Amino acid sequence: MSEKLGQLDLVFVVDNTGSMGPYIQNVKTKILEIIRTIKKEELCHRLRVGLVSYRDHPPEESTYITQKFELSSDTAKIEQNVMQMDASGGGDGPEAISTALQVMNKMEFLNESAKISVLIGDAPPHGVESGDRWPKGTPDGAKWDTEAKNAFEKGIVIHTVGCFPEITNYENGVATYEKIAGLSQGRFIPLEKAELLVNIITGLAVEEIDKIAIQKSILEDLGVSMEDFPANEEFTEAKISEIVAKVQAKGVTKRAMAARPSSAPAARSEDLAVEAQEVDAADIREAVRQLKSKSG
């Protein structure tokens, strides 16, 4: 049971259009560092990594809309795919983010794994900016908000990384990245310095890994396997409080990124740090939600 609950599925969704030229090399290097750092994490018994590269829809872009590299425990292979990314083309400002998120949601995530997606780009999806060739959204019908909600239902947390200053050239660029993250209980990370990416994303991955430990503790207290978790049972506030007390009594804690004020400039992101926190009722509610989605 502990082996199943120590798995992390991590997918990077990365803008490969021409405007990413100033950022792409740093992004590639930092993605490799993230993969290698998380592999060393004690509670991560198995790491699988996937990649979705995206550009835009024709006729704005003639090479590809998305390129998918399925989740794999062969991280060396995924690292090769990462290093082959190239910033080119892209046409108008908005890009094929909605379709890329749709592709990500259809990847082969393991039911029992913690699931993280990291969207990295410098432009918004179609349908949020004036002057967009597709002002109502992508020509294939994909919707970024629908896909973010779908990710949440699947237990996938999307963290969005907006490359500064390019993303600020769009009226709704930052706001849309914030909404994508918020709809899946993820975080928007405004970066001016690519070197911050490793510590922040690794820290956020640690948060998800610790959520698995909380789930494991709940299963142990109930004396059931993940497959036998009582998905139809109502977990009242009294029941949640009882579980909180048991988890705390066993000394189970969580590691979390210290929050920063939303008004803080991007440059202060280095103030974020992983810190130990006590498990509370909100953590138990989320763990129960995740276990219900995984059972059966």
Which pLDDT tens digit goes with each residue over 99-115? 999 999 999 999 888 89
3-class secondary-structure state, position 208: helix
3-class secondary-structure state, position 255: strand
- What pLDDT is stored for residue 195 in this prediction? 64
Residues recorded for the chain: 296
Whether residues 144 and 8 fall in one domain: yes
Which residue carries 């690292």 as its tokens? 79
CATH of the domain at 30: 3.40.50.410
Whether residues 238 and 161 fall in one domain: no
Of 203, 228, 252, at which residue does a domain stop? 203
272 pLDDT above the threshold of 70 = no
Q: Which helix (H) or strand (E) holds 199?
A: helix 196-222
Whether residues 139 and 274 fall in one domain: no
- What pLDDT is stored for residue 260 in this prediction? 52
Whether residues 68 and 181 fall in one domain: yes
Considering only CA atoms, which of 7, 59, 52, 57 is closest in space to residue 31? 52
- Sort 112 into a burial class: Cβ within 10 Å, 0-12 / 13-18 / 19+: buried
Which pLDDT tens digit goes with each residue over 205-255? 888 888 888 998 999 999 998 888 998 999 999 999 999 999 999 988 888
- What pLDDT is stored for residue 296 in this prediction? 61
Whether residues 31 and 163 fall in one domain: yes
Whether residues 156 and 174 fall in one domain: yes
Of 165, 186, 203, at which residue does a domain stop? 203
Q: Domain total for the chain?
A: 2
Of 181, 203, 225, at which residue does a domain stop? 203
Whether residues 77 and 123 fall in one domain: yes
Residue ranges of E strands in the chain: 7-15, 46-54, 66-72, 114-121, 156-163, 188-191, 253-257, 274-278
Whether residues 42 and 147 fall in one domain: yes
Considering only CA atoms, which of 106, 103, 108 is closest in space to residue 73? 108
Which pLDDT tens digit goes with each residue over 125-184? 999 999 899 999 999 999 999 999 999 999 999 999 999 989 999 999 999 999 999 999
Whether residues 196 and 213 fall in one domain: no
Question: What does pTM read for this prediction?
Answer: 0.87
Whether residues 177 and 69 fall in one domain: yes
Residue 249: which domain range? 207-294
265 pLDDT above the threshold of 60 = no
Whether residues 197 and 211 fall in one domain: no
Whether residues 23 and 131 fall in one domain: yes
